Each structure stands twice: as C-alpha cells, then as structure tokens.
Amino acid sequence: MGLLDHVNSAGSKLTGKPGKDDAPPEGAAADDTEELDEENGNILMSLIGQLRIGMDLSKVTLPTFVLEPRSMLERITDFMSHPDLIFGAGQIDDPERRFLQVTRYYLSGWHIKPKGVKKPYNPVLGEHFRCSYKYPNDTQGFYIAEQVSHHPPISAYFYCSPENNLMIYGELKPKSKFLGNSAANMMGGENRVVLLDRLDDGEYQVEMPNMYARGILFGKMVLELGDHSKIRNEANDITADVEFKTKGYFTGTYNALAGKVTHKGKHIGDISGKWNESMEYKDTKSGETETLFDAKGAKTVQKIVRPEEEQEEFESRRLWSKVTEGIKEKNLDKATDSKSAIEEAQRQRGREREEKGETWQPKYFVAKGEKFYPIVDALPEEMQSDVVKKYFSNK
C-alpha cells in the first residue's frame, strides 16, 4: 500500500464517529492520545497528502489545531518545574549521590505536557520568554530564553537560582521529519547543569530523547519519547545511558525507560520505570532500590510571568497572544490569520536585513562553537549575580 493509499484509508479513522475503537491504544495514557473531529481530520489529511518520507517538517506550515498554545521557549520551562530536586546537591560529599540528584531532576520534567499530541509554536527570530519562580524555602529562580536561529531553529536558554547555588543553561536544536505514519522531532542540543558550590564537578551535560507522534495516518495518534539519552559528568567520570523505549507493534508498553549508570567504567546502578508515572534506581552494590521520581504525586513550582501589557513586543506571550486566544476560543480562523501575520512579518524583517546587508545578532546569548552562552551584561538585572558573572567570565 502506498503513502496516498494510507492517507485515503486514514480519513475514515480521523473523521469517523466515536465507537468501540475510540479508547486509547492499550498501555497508553488518555492524555497522550489525540482524536480529531471531521473538519480537522480533513485538513490534516490534505496536509499529509503533500508530504514525502524524510521531509523536513520545519518548512511545513502546520494547521493551528495541532498547536499547543505556548511557544517552544516557554515549553522548555517544564524542566524548571522541579529544580528543588537539585537544591543542596552541592553539599553532598558522595559524587555518585550528586550525580543521582541531577539525574532525578532531568527525569522529572517529562511528565509535564499538554493533553493529546500537540506542538508548541515555532519561535520567531529574536523572540524571547522570561519568567521567575518563588520556592517554598523563600528563595527565587529566574529563567530567560531566546530564539537565536531560525534556519536551523535553535532556542538558547538560561536559568539560575543563586541562593540555591544552581545554574542550568543550554540550547535546543529540534529537527522534525515525516516518517510515514509518524512525525519525529529529533532533539539536538544539550542541557548543562552547574552546581555553583561544587565547581570542581564542572558541568553535568544532559542530552534529550527524541519525540514521536505516532498514528498520523492510521490508528490513534499517540505521543512517545524514544531512543537514547545520556547524562555525563566528565570531572567524576560518571555517566547514565537512559533508553526511552518505544512500544513495538506487538510487544512492549508506552512510556517505559531503562538506564544504566557507570562510574569510571564500573556499573553502579540501574534506572527503570515509566517517565509519566514512577521511576526507580537500584544500587548494584547494596541491592537497595529507591524512588527517583513519582510523577503522580509531584507538585510543580508555578512560573511567574509579567502581564502581557508589560511585556516587550517580542516576548512570547505578547507576540502570540492573538493566536493563543484563537486556539482557546476554538476560533481557528482567528488563530490561523494571526499566526500567518506573525510569520509574514518575520519574513519581511529578513528581506529588509538582506537588502541592507545586515546580519541578525541575538540579544541575550552568544555562540561559541556549537554552544550558546548567556551575555551576562544583557540579562535582566536580577540574573546578574556575582557568581553568574564570575562563572561566565571564564567562558
């Protein structure tokens, strides 16, 4: 059966009446699945009919009903929802336990997601998002992100909580591809964690798993995380290799992961569980098992964002406000027209720079090789602490 045959046969799946087959696929959570109504199904089928295997989806304009009403720059904050899991890690003498705390934080961010299979807005060049946090221990955290490249898309971000001796920064370089019955988001880039009261550790480097939207042409649409992700601390020679397992056609289950932790080449522990439920760590020496993170009982720290009327023109929530309104009102014409206006304005700014021979430069970040570092003097004042200035002066 060819691709277009799949598209035609899929139409009945997406536009049919609810029935006994409308339950989520076995083993998948209801919040990870998506069902389209007849109008949206027809739109998606029309779009899919134009795609080819391996096509770069970053160059495809997606319909607004598949969008999550927030920018990718804001979505990255999901990983700042449980930073308290690392607070105090620098005071732990055992390097293996410090590493485990960073691993715990990293695995805690995946359970936060929109219902269904949704994609955040693709940020425009120069767009930025900032927010702050207030923690139960009366300390604060601060976050800022900026879209530093459009082709290829790159989002740079920086988080700090100086009172808790914690800093996180990095860049996200997603590449989307159409794979037939799936759309893949290959998550390039790196997340770097710094314990400011344990600088001898250097940086904890974290890679992201890839994301897959399954069942685009037939079956239920389901979101999956897949492939390998590594967490490394070179100073102490500790590594965790975590496999986010995708479900096989006949075997396996959804959202499972398994990982192996090594210290100086020696196997010291195993990670297992589900990233949307509970994950455990088993120490190979003692045989003891502990809960790494339980998503069902977790309480996230809510971000604080300035009102839109106080934001700058290119701050995410203000920039996309009309699109967000349209999506929440289920007024897809309003959302689509507003999204098109933002994208056309971006193209026009690009043409004007080209005519003037100008090169766009990020406001808050600077590239050095493949990495992006915050320009400390350009950051909001509350992020310019002495410890942050000192750290990046050496970078």
R_g of the chain, CA atoms, integer Å: 22
Angle between the N-to-C axes of helices 38-48 and 3-15, in degrees from 0 to 180, rounded to the nearest 10: 170
Q: How far is CA 277 from the centre of its chain?
A: 18
pLDDT band, very low/low/confident/very high, at 24 (cuts 50, 70, 90): low
The CA distances from residue 71 to 30, 128, 209, 217, in Å, are 24, 9, 20, 26
**pLDDT tops 70 at residue 254:** yes
* Most distant CA pair in the chain, distance: 66
Cβ atoms of residues 146 and 74 within 8 Å: no
**pLDDT tops 50 at residue 40:** no
In the chain, alpha helices (H): 3-15, 38-48, 72-75, 95-107, 316-319, 321-328, 332-356, 386-393
Lowest mean pLDDT among 188-202, 246-260, 299-313, 361-375: 246-260
**pLDDT tops 90 at residue 10:** no
**pLDDT tops 80 at residue 362:** yes
**pLDDT tops 60 at residue 128:** yes
Cβ atoms of residues 269 and 98 within 8 Å: no
pLDDT band, very low/low/confident/very high, at 217 (cuts 50, 70, 90): low
pLDDT of residue 62: 57
Domains in the chain with CATH codes? 3-59+73-318+357-393 (2.40.160.120)
**pLDDT tops 80 at residue 45:** no
- Residue pLDDT, tens place only, 261-302: 999 999 999 999 999 899 999 999 999 999 999 988 888 889
Q: How far apart are CA 187 and CA 205, in angstroms?
A: 14
The CA distances from residue 203 to 65, 196, 309, 359, in Å, are 39, 10, 38, 32
pLDDT of residue 6: 38
Three-state secondary structure call for residue 282: strand
List, in sequence order, every residue forming a beta bridge with 189; answer none if it has no partner. Answer: 172
Q: How far apart are the first and last CA of the chain?
A: 54
- Residue pLDDT, tens place only, 178-211: 777 777 778 889 999 999 999 999 999 999 888 8
pLDDT of residue 252: 74
Is the sign of the CA dihedral 254, 224, 177, 36 positive or negative? Answer: positive
Angle formed at CA 131 by CA 128 and CA 135, multiple of 5 degrees:
155
DSSP letter at 322? H
Average pLDDT of the segment spanning 341-352: 95
Average pLDDT of the segment spanning 79-107: 93
Question: Please, what is the average pLDDT of the chain?
Answer: 84
List, in sequence order, every residue forming a beta bridge with 174; answer none if it has no partner. Answer: 187
Q: How far apart are CA 190 and CA 26, in angstroms?
A: 33
